[in-house]
Amino acid sequence: MSASVIPHTVTFVRSIFEGAEGGHDWFHTERVWKMARYIRDQEGKGDRLTIELAALLHDISDPKFNGGDEEAGSRMATDFLAGEGLDADRLDHLGRIIRHISFKGGNTPHSETSIEFQIVQDADRLDALGAIGIARAFNYGGFKNLPIYDPAIPVTAYADASSYYASRAPTINHFHEKLLKLKDLMNTATGKALAEERHRFMLLFLEQFRREARPEEL
């Protein structure tokens, strides 16, 4: 395995995200990478290299942007890392982490429970919460030309990943369909504590939004 696998991976990922939608770009990945390292240090467990590589590569082919192919990201990641000389066991582990990390409309059951997976998933979910999470939600909504708010469109419980990815619901619905659920889906003690603070901030935002969106109720 190359001693420069992390910088090589950074270069690879940055090249993929040139021109990407602003909520799912290199800076999102960089935040997840840094947060994953922080959670790992706070928890005091987990293989650092696996965590860093999974965080860096977790979003290189998001099904929301690739036509719904949930295997593409893990294939791309393991193909790249095989060229960096990683062993088969680590490649398999990284592939599973990347394959199962996304929300997919709910807490989809799967068999990946490693601490490395839990840490990277928490780091990714934290970036969907708080001020950054609010900014990312509306940036993605604008990118997809979704309405900000439409009280005639109810919050939806999606039956599967494909219907979740295809949703044209208003951005404000996304808070209730996903973002407000994340606090209770965190894996680590560190992730849970950070999620609590960011969750409270989103609730304040939503209450202010509700008051401004319904002046007839003032």
pLDDT-based confidence at residue 70 (cuts at 50, 70, 90): confident
Work out the mean pLDDT of the chain and round it to a whole number.
Answer: 91
Mapping DSSP onto H, E and C, the string for 50-102 reads HHHHHHHHCCCCCCCCCCCCCCHHHHHHHHHHHHCCCCHHHHHHHHHHHHHCC
Above 80 in pLDDT, residue 22?
yes
* pLDDT score, position 108: 54
* Whole-prediction pTM: 0.92
> What's the mean pLDDT in 184-204?
98
CATH number of the domain encompassing residue 183: 1.10.3210.50
Structural domains of the chain, count = 1
* Residue 67 φ/ψ region, left for φ over 0, alpha for ψ in the -120 to 50 degree band, beta for the rest: left
* pLDDT score, position 2: 65
Mapping DSSP onto H, E and C, the string for 145-179 reads CCCCCCCCCCCCCCCCHHHHHCCCCCHHHHHHHCH
* Residue 108 φ/ψ region, left for φ over 0, alpha for ψ in the -120 to 50 degree band, beta for the rest: beta
Least confident of 29-33, 201-205, 212-216: 212-216
Which amino acid is present at 198?
R
Q: Which residue has the higher pLDDT, 173 or 164?
A: 173
Above 60 in pLDDT, residue 62?
yes
* pLDDT score, position 104: 60
Above 80 in pLDDT, residue 36?
yes
Domain range spanning residue 37?
A: 5-217
